[in-house]
Amino acid sequence: MSGYIEGILVILLLNIVFAYAVYWPLAAGQLNLGVAGFVGIGAYASAYASNEYGVPPYLASLGAALVTFAAAIIIAVPVLRTRGIYLALATFAFGQVLHSLFLNLDVVGGAAGYPVNAYIGIGGIATCALGVFLVTLFLDRTRFGLNMVAVHHDNAVSDLFGINVRLYQTLAFAIGAGIAGLGGGLYGHHFSYIEPQNYTILFSIFVVLFVLLGGTQTVFGPLLGAIFFTLLPEALRASEEWRYAIFAVLIIGTMILRPQGLFTVHEIRIFRRLFDRGTPPGRAHG
Amino acid sequence: MLEQQLINGLMLGGIYVLVAVAFTLTIGILNFLNFSIPGVFMLAGVFTWVLLKAGVHWSLAVAGALAVGAAASLLVERCTYSWMRSSDHYVPLVSSMGFLILFENLVLVQWGSDLQRVVLPFSDLNIRYASLVVSIPQLLSLTLAVCLVVALRALLLKTQMGRALRAVAENATTAEILGVGVTRLVPAVFIIGGLFAALGGMLFALNYQQVHPYMGEEVALKGISAMVIGGMGNVWGAVLGGLLIGLTEVLSIHFFNADFVDFFVYGLLLVILFFKPTGLLGASKIVQEKF
Amino acid sequence: MADVLCLEGISKSFGGLEVIKNLSFAVARGQRTALVGPNGAGKSTVFNLISGVYPVTAGRIRVNGRDITEVPSRLRMRCGVSRSFQNIRLVPHLSVLENVMIGQTPRISGPADILYPLRLVRGSRWQREALAALDRVGLAEFAGSQAHDLPYGVQKQIEIARALLGGADVLLLDEPAAGLNAQETEDLMARLESISGQGATIVVVEHNMQFVGALCGHVIVLDFGEKIAEGTPAEVRREPRVVEAYLGVNAA
């Protein structure tokens, strides 16, 4: 595999992981604009663990996922008291505060950045990305996933049908954060260097945008969004600046024409009909 | 010196006030968090530089930059708000983020990412009192900000258009049924908001004599905080919030260092969101429920 | 205790406005009861109070003899009351079967049920049960359709199937016949009779008085939040206050 292709694949796999970090809260109706902050926590925590205590990089990354998951549960208490625009703003502010903390944490290099000694190759990243996708896919097919859709769509009715709305919202927020932490750990250990400038609001905005471009009605939307975002500019051979401009036009157009994103329940049903004729009633899943 | 820092903070706050007013207009009247405002801010700043560099007279450069800001804002309205009615609440927010990225990268493609120096047509204009220095452009922008806010208040309270806008803010559907021309008012809101943001960007370029493609993020994202801290949808809240953020910023630099600015500014925003989400000059309960 | 649902002196105020005034009534097991009254009489508010959407200002609510006044709304279905809604409250992009399965939530017990991949496994216990509930309201053929593709009347009935699945004793149905044509209304009536024949207690809010007269043996008339009459359909029709409330003073 040429270095060029491997480089793109790594970016693609990491973008897939970040996509699901944003997808989970969105699946419960929360727009998390602070995902970069969670990625940063994961990156710094795992790098510190592997640098200072010699924790194996994979273990450190998985540990980072647990740390961010736990941190998010604590943060969710005040953050989820807000909703709608206020929730988006609270996560935004939270991300900004974390960014400035990273800038000032001298123990991990502050603004100068932090080198990471241990290394995770493309194989490890691919395994983790696949794992994240499969776990998300599985959970979506369970009652947990079904109830998550219900909570997103209608809090009041979900509550009356016995769904603990607050618990589901907290878990969606925390699972997303955990995935972000894992992605951060993988990122740091692959590129061997992390710096606060990686984890800005623009990072969060880009991930949110490509996830919504793909669509959040199904678990395949974020995957498609990440592929689109990573590979389309390569295919177009566009320069760095033009690729973002093109992407921006794409997202604006998508929101006008198909606000549910490119890949929705409708497409799944078309595929199903193509491959699975003669479906008995009650077998069509969304 | 603390006194000088306080003055600088207030001057900086004047810029935040303008941006916060731009945010609060679309939030308060249309319930739409317009993330393209940093982009509009930056476009106006960059065009001020471009026009001045091209040798255009400064008054024309100012007018041109404002026109670009208003036009950009109108473009955002055409492509986001007019389509938002039936969608999820975050769809227009997402589109406006798309515009922020579009504006930034178009400027990047055209003029690169370097920090550009704005050469002013006038020489150093400072008022010195004892050991304190107040720059005239800065003083002018703070005065201008406050005057414009007063004018905007008058517009909202006294004129026919203002009454219609407040009706839309209360309930867009009802207002439409009662014969308010919502479809004509919405572009007006975006143009006014765009002008405020553009003015902020232009004054920033003149005061700090530098522009670059990402200048909007640093400043305008603090404008969001200013708006929330003061109270979303409340014009005086935007003023209070803007000045508070300006002061918080210079005081963090004074007592800590520049890297702590975001920590305190956004920390303040978080604290407000958690404990008094309606902001210091909290809007009424009805407005709050709209979000 | 024969009364499965019992309201004792219920009052509800919003701000200073009292929308339900000292309302008491009891519904016996298996009974079919109608809550009728002019628009704004407070019928849907009564449903919202029983299902816990908002707390009562005064009074007690009992289900199967148990006081549920303080039980949070989330747990009330487990106590035996389930409901449908005046406006359609289904998830539009989910299939009918998935929408109905959301109604099973009150009966799940433990992580194994929550993590059971019921949207993946064909013919699981949960799916069979949901299909059976759809069959009971005559909608099994729509199980695979997306909810928002179906006509209004069908969607209303899906809500009934969803309410059935919680295993509740009392079904609160908010205008189940709204938007149905004559034939569909007749079918609905037959189904509700069969559902109640199997032991469920049904309370409906309904404007169609013919429907109420044919389905319900027990009618409670509300006006401005007060009970102004209670009895069989024939009895309440004779009450002067009911005639007055419906037709205005002069007609009486």
Q: How many percent of chain C have pLDDT more than 90?
A: 45
Tell whether the torsion through CA atoms of B114, B119, B124 and B127 is positive or negative: negative
Grade residue A85 by pLDDT with cuts at 50, 70 and 90: confident
Interface touch A161/C105, C-beta < 8 Å: yes
More confident residue, B113 or B1: B113
- Cβ(C19)–Cβ(C159) under 8 Å? no
Q: How many percent of chain C have pLDDT more than 70?
A: 97
What pLDDT, on a 0 to 100 scale, did the predictor assign at position B145? 84
pLDDT tens-digit readout, C215-246: 999 999 999 899 999 999 989 888 888 888 77
Pairwise CA distance, residues B228 & C240, whole Å: 58
User: Does an H or E element contain B284, and which?
Assistant: none
The lowest-confidence range among A275-284, B18-27, B88-97, C172-181 is A275-284
Neighbouring chains of C at 3+ CB pairs under 8 Å are A
CA distance B103 to chain A (A): 8
Residues of C in contact with A161 (CB under 8 A): 77, 102-103, 105-106, 162, 166
The lowest-confidence range among A44-58, A83-97, A189-203, B165-179 is B165-179
What pLDDT, on a 0 to 100 scale, did the predictor assign at position B289? 32
What pLDDT, on a 0 to 100 scale, did the predictor assign at position C57? 93
CA distance B131 to chain A (A): 32
What pLDDT, on a 0 to 100 scale, did the predictor assign at position C252? 38
pLDDT tens-digit readout, B27-75: 888 888 899 999 999 999 999 999 999 988 888 999 999 999 999 999 9
Q: Domain ranges in chain B?
A: 2-290
Parallel/antiparallel/unpaired status of strands C32-36 and C201-205: parallel
Q: What does C168-212 look like in DSSP terms, one character per residue? A: -SEEEEESTTTT--HHHHHHHHHHHHHHHHTT-EEEEE-S-HHHH
Averaged pLDDT, A168-185: 96
Pairwise CA distance, residues B82 & C250, whole Å: 51
- Cβ(C167)–Cβ(C179) under 8 Å? no
Mean pLDDT computed over every residue of chain B? 84
| Residue A246 reports pLDDT greater than 80 | yes
Averaged pLDDT, A249-267: 85
Grade residue B286 by pLDDT with cuts at 50, 70 and 90: very low
| Residue A247 reports pLDDT greater than 70 | yes
Strands (E) in chain C, as ranges, are 3-14, 17-28, 32-36, 58-63, 66-67, 81-83, 170-174, 201-205, 218-223, 226-231
Residue with tokens 């320069």: A239
Query: Which range in A156-170, A266-280, B2-16 is most confidently predicted, on average pLDDT?
Result: A156-170
The lowest-confidence range among A174-183, C17-26, C130-139 is C130-139
What pLDDT, on a 0 to 100 scale, did the predictor assign at position B116? 86
* 3-class secondary-structure state, position C8: strand
What pLDDT, on a 0 to 100 scale, did the predictor assign at position B83? 58
Residues in chain A: 286
Mean pLDDT computed over every residue of chain A? 89
* Burial tier of A100 (Cβ tally within 10 Å: 0-12, 13-18, 19+): buried
Query: Does the ipTM surpass 0.85?
Result: yes
Interface touch C94/A149, C-beta < 8 Å: yes
Averaged pLDDT, B127-135: 77
Q: What does A25-60 look like in DSSP terms, one character per residue? A: HHHTT---S-HHHHHHHHHHHHHHHHHHH---HHHH
Q: Which residue of A has its CA nearest to B279?
A: A86
Residues of B in contact with A248 (CB under 8 A): 98-99, 101-102, 105
- Cβ(B37)–Cβ(B197) under 8 Å? yes
| Residue B155 reports pLDDT greater than 70 | yes
Both tokens of residue C198?
A: 């199997």
What pLDDT, on a 0 to 100 scale, did the predictor assign at position B259? 80
Neighbouring chains of A at 3+ CB pairs under 8 Å are B, C
| Residue C113 reports pLDDT greater than 80 | yes
What pLDDT, on a 0 to 100 scale, did the predictor assign at position B87? 59
More confident residue, B289 or B193: B193
CATH number of B2-290: 1.10.3470
More confident residue, A34 or B161: A34
Distance of CA B83 to the CA centre of its chain: 23
Both tokens of residue A59?
A: 């273990």
pLDDT tens-digit readout, B188-242: 889 999 999 999 999 888 888 889 999 998 888 898 889 889 888 788 888 889 9
More confident residue, B86 or C251: B86
- Cβ(C77)–Cβ(C52) under 8 Å? no
Residue with tokens 């970069």: A36
